[in-house]
Amino acid sequence: MRIIFKNIKELLQVRKEAISFVSGKQMAILPSIKHAYLVVENGLITDFGSMDTCPEIQADSVVDASGKMLMPSWCDAHTHIVYAGNREAEFVQRIQGMGYEEIAAAGGGILNSAKKLQETSEDSLYEQSSVRLEALIGLGTGAIEIKSGYGLTLEAELKMLRVIRRLKEAYPIEIKATFLGAHAVPEKYKGNKHAYLKMLIDEVLPKVAKEKLAEYIDIFCEKGYFDLADTALMLAAGKKYGWIPKIHVNQFSAFGGVGLGVQFNALSVDHLEEMRAEDIEVLKETKTMPVALPGCSFFLGIPYTPARKMIQAGLPLALASDYNPGSSPSGNMNLVVSLACIKMKMTPEEAINAATINGAYAMGLENEVGSISIGKQANLILTKPLNSYAFIPYAFGSNQIEKVFIKGKEVHPF
């Protein structure tokens, strides 16, 4: 099966030489080819270049992309899309003045979602989650990470992870699974956090490992949730099973979680709304990707990750949606990219780099997706006719997607 895209107004994020991620000043550069062609064979990108050099070859399908941009799909490296029900009642409580942490302390928040999920069958959870995933693919997401962490019991955590596995089997996009059992201390263990962590380590981790349900390990390292010692304990326990850390840190408070993540060779440290100079310093020259979640900052009205300071310091940055029922009930990466430009003052080039190649790296998929490179999956966004790609973040709240291709197959609308 061969497809040729011809007359592409601009082919974005072209990387002839393989790269893992971009950082610092490099983030401002988005390599592209104007008036381009691209060839896809058996789901992979096999050739591309300027239309002047377009080969005369037969194809099963020719797409005329006149006036339109072609770019790699979004890579969303941090989501919680497997959940049951929603929490719009808490949203209204917050509008009326209650705080996110106050609601959580009163039994709402993560514990509210855990209760709902425990009462939901695996099939129903799968149905609810697949609706979300299909919508996201239609919005241009071509690779995604999904976390557990709304189960908080052995059975319910396994249920979440099995749903993620079913999604992996049923959908053509790359999906990575992260174990986030240490997301909150469940009601049953109130005041007994250590017993909960011990239960996770002794009972849950071995079963998750036996069924090969996770690639990464996460923990909510935050005041009132899990501290540095808890984080070190969980990450060390996960390491025994070969799980690489991707952790929630510095959402509301900064107390050394970023440095700890780096010590454990975390693939990513995520949230980072609160960043001290030393947190930026400790990330320099490491392989740990900082991940910003502007949808969460927007929805909760909390600070945005200081992208300018971090990029100025030479760091890379990835953007992800954090799609979850409590702090970011949207997985629309087009909006995430807009928010990054509008609220974090990232340029369109920086934001697109952060939401493609850097996002791919933050879930270990930089060799498969995230750029227009030979051998990578043809997970592509074909835009509507556009003047320039800056229109993508500019037109916030809408999206400029005409068609989505996953492994070369058109899937939009799903």
Looking at 251, 297, 371, 373, which residue binds ligand NIG (CB under 6 A)? Answer: 251
- Residue 273 sits in the site that holds Fe ion (CB under 5 A): no
Contact 82, 123 (CB under 8 A): no
- Applying CB under 6 A, does 238 fall inside the site for ligand NIG? no
Bridge partners (DSSP) of residue 10 are: 34, 69
**Residue 9 binds which entry of ligand NIG, Fe ion, none, CB below 5-8 Å type-dependent:** none
Of the candidate residues 326, 329, 331, 370, the single one contacting ligand NIG (CB under 6 A): 326
> How many other CB atoms are there within 10 angstroms of residue 215's CB atom?
18
Binding of residue 376 to ligand NIG (CB under 6 A): no
Question: How, if at all, do strands 174-182 and 141-147 pair?
Answer: parallel
Of 71 and 180, nearer to ligand NIG (C-beta) is 180
Q: Is 110 in the site for ligand NIG (CB under 6 A)?
A: yes
Establish if 248 lies at the interface with ligand NIG (CB under 6 A). yes
Does residue number 322 form part of the binding site for Fe ion (CB under 5 A)?
Answer: yes
The dihedral sign for the CA sequence 286, 179, 303, 297 = positive
The first and second tokens of residue 388, run together, are 């320039």
| Comparison of 245 and 325: residue with beta carbon closer to ligand NIG | 325
Residue with the two structure tokens 């952790």:
247
- Is 296 an interacting residue with respect to ligand NIG (CB under 6 A)? yes
Applying CB under 6 A, what is the total number of residues that bind ligand NIG? 12
Among ligand NIG, Fe ion, none, residue 296 binds (CB under 5-8 Å by kind): ligand NIG
| 305 lies in the site for ligand NIG, by CB under 6 A | no
Residue 406, beta-bridge partner list: 409
Q: How far apart are CA 218 and CA 300, in angstroms?
A: 21
| Region of 3-11, 41-49, 135-143, 320-328 interacting with ligand NIG (CB under 6 A) | 320-328
Which one of ligand NIG, Fe ion, none is in contact with 113 (Cβ closer than 5 to 8 A by kind)?
A: ligand NIG
Size of the site for Fe ion (CB under 5 A): 1
Interface stretch with ligand NIG, choices 47-55, 106-114, 336-344, 366-374 (CB under 6 A): 106-114
> What is the rounded CA–CA span in Å between residue 345 and residue 338?
10
Kindly state whether residue 113 participates in binding ligand NIG, applying the rule CB under 6 A. yes
Q: Give dist(CA 258, CA 275) in Å, integer.
A: 9
| Region of 4-12, 105-113, 196-204, 389-397 interacting with ligand NIG (CB under 6 A) | 105-113
Residue 201 Cβ, how far from ligand NIG at the closest point, in Å? 20
CB nearer ligand NIG, residue 109 or residue 316: 109
Instruction: Considering the complex, state which of residue 178 and residue 324 has its C-beta at the smaller distance from ligand NIG.
Output: 324
- Pairing, β 2-12 against β 68-72: parallel
Q: Where are the beta strands (DSSP E) in 211-335?
A: 216-221, 244-249, 268-271, 289-292, 318-319
Neighbours of 251 (CB within 10 A): 27
Query: Which tokens belong to 282?
Result: 């400790």
**Long-range Cβ contacts of 44-53 (<8 Å, 24+ apart):** 44/375, 44/376, 44/377, 44/378, 44/407, 44/408, 45/372, 45/373, 45/374, 45/375, 45/376, 45/377, 45/378, 46/374, 46/375, 47/374, 48/11, 48/14, 48/372, 48/374, 51/6, 51/7, 51/8
Tell me: does residue 108 bind ligand NIG (CB under 6 A).
Answer: no
Which residues are near Fe ion by CB under 5 A?
322
Which residues are near ligand NIG by CB under 6 A?
109-110, 113, 220, 248, 251, 296, 322, 324-327
